[in-house]
Amino acid sequence: MKCPTCNVEMNLLVAGIYECPSCKKILKENDGSAQEQKEKKVSEGIFLDGEYFHNNVSLNKDYEIAESGIIINKTPNRLFGVLICHSPLIKDEKYVRISWWKSLQHAGMFKIYNRDVLNNTIHALEKIDNSFDDLWNWTGKYRKSEPKTKEDLEKEKNLDILKYRIIENKTCPKCQKTMEKMKAHYECSHCGEIVILEGYNQPIFNIDPKDLDLRFQSDFPINYYLPVSGITVKWLMGEWKSIVVIYAKDAPNKKWLRFYWWARDLSKFMKYGRREMGENTQMGWKAQRGMASPNIYDKKLIGPLIDALNKISNEVKL
């Protein structure tokens, strides 16, 4: 009898009971067909109950509950999938979790809480899939040479208008009412929106995910690796999410796709202001804790990932 997961011959423990020497899975002889059906379901990318992930990989119910999920790729040592999750305390606040596991342990994640960010992620992956070959060699056009659509031009115009109104009239970019000037930021007493002032009259404010142009760029706060090109799917003053093709400096021919999620703490800057903290104070981005290594090395996985995200999008309410 062969293990349906590892495809190796299983050892007989007692009559009718077998153990896989590789993954240590134990099966009854008459469980084979049921297990094969389960593995077939996994390989076909069909929705699995969330309990599958809690029982088979490290997903702690104390921190998050998986409702359902789709496995995109599964090997004896690795598992890559997309899950619909919620916190143990608030069941109605759901999110999408793109997850990587290695040897059943957490190896990477990318969480999506907003439908517009989910849509941006799907569109960004589609553009990346069309702009790179199977070895992640660039075949597309960068921001400067990529033709702008009418929608892109409209988004740029709207952002320029928002910046102008902030600088000239202290107009809130969210509710359009007048904001109050603080040490290093404007604050709206009507809706709570905050605009950071960086440099000389350079307002930094949250950009609605729908207003991102999803064009390729290469200016990312990436450490250790170098970017080829990527797309920003979410940009807030304190949070930045992008999908980027990268490579190591000492191995430029080896490229892969990585999901990035940065955060920055602006509380001290807002409290003390640039003058007290120093004119050269940098509001640096840091990798979100728990991200680990959300990498895709095989470009052929992009298509199944897009399909899974589309299925998830139709299923979940964000």
In a domain, 72, yes or no: no
| pLDDT confidence band for 217 (50 / 70 / 90) | very high
| pLDDT confidence band for 30 (50 / 70 / 90) | low
As a whole-number percent, the residues of the chain with pLDDT over 70 amount to 87
In a domain, 173, yes or no: yes
Burial class (CB in 10 A: 0-12, 13-18, 19+), 211: middle
Q: How far is CA 7 from CA 42, 70, 104, 296, 314, in A?
A: 15, 22, 18, 24, 34
DSSP 8-state secondary structure symbol assigned to residue 221? -
In a domain, 102, yes or no: no
Per the CB < 8 A criterion, the answer to whether 302 and 125 are in contact is yes
Residues 233-256: tens digit of each pLDDT: 999 988 999 999 999 999 999 999
Per the CB < 8 A criterion, the answer to whether 243 and 233 are in contact is yes
In a domain, 26, yes or no: yes
Question: Under 8 Å CB-to-CB from 79, ≥6 apart: which residues?
Answer: 56, 57, 71, 73, 99, 100, 101, 104
Radius of gyration of the chain (CA): 23
Q: What pLDDT, on a 0 to 100 scale, did the predictor assign at position 273?
A: 57
In a domain, 177, yes or no: yes
In a domain, 175, yes or no: yes
In a domain, 254, yes or no: no
- How far, in Å, CA of 318 to CA of 118, rounded? 9
What's the mean per-residue pLDDT of the chain? 86
Domain interval for residue 37: 1-41
- Secondary structure of residue 126 in the 3-state scheme: helix
Q: What pLDDT, on a 0 to 100 scale, did the predictor assign at position 271?
A: 67
Total tally of structural domains belonging to the chain = 2
Q: Give the total residue count for the chain.
A: 318
Residues 268-318: tens digit of each pLDDT: 666 665 544 444 445 678 888 888 889 999 999 999 999 999 999 999 988
In a domain, 183, yes or no: yes
Per the CB < 8 A criterion, the answer to whether 222 and 164 are in contact is no
Question: Under 8 Å CB-to-CB from 100, ≥6 apart: which residues?
Answer: 78, 79, 80, 106, 107, 108, 109, 292, 293, 294, 295
